[in-house]
């Protein structure tokens, strides 16, 4: 389990080829799931302290998108798969 912070644009102190893993901590939120698409982009689904779900979209270690306050992990993953994030 690793702990990372971001500056809103990228993960700090992370190698360029790093992909967050389940149970890592990013910005104080636990990683619940990681989902990749065909390109280099991937989504990381995080548990907020208020038990809602946030999704960060990464390209390498760079944050290229963010969506927050999903009611459930399933809702967040479905939005990612349907290109709504």
CA angle 9, 85, 61 (to 5 degrees): 30
Q: Calculate mean pLDDT across residues 4-10.
A: 94
Closest to 85 measured CA to CA, from 41, 51, 47: 41
| Domain boundaries of the chain, sorted by first residue | 3-81
C-beta neighbour count of 71 within 10 angstroms:
10
pLDDT digits (tens, 9 = 90+) for 22-80: 999 999 999 999 998 767 789 999 999 999 999 999 998 899 999 988 999 999 999 98
For residue 75, the Cα-to-chain-centroid distance in whole angstroms is: 14
């Amino acid at each position: 389990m690793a702990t990372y912070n971001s500056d809103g644009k990228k993960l700090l102190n992370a190698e360029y080829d790093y992909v967050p893993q389940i149970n890592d901590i990013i910005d104080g939120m636990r990683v619940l799931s990681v989902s990749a698409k065909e390109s280099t982009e991937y989504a990381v689904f995080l548990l907020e302290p208020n038990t809602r779900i946030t999704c960060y979209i990464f390209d390498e270690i760079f944050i290229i998108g963010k969506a927050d306050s999903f009611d459930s992990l399933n809702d967040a993953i479905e939005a990612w798969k349907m290109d709504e994030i």
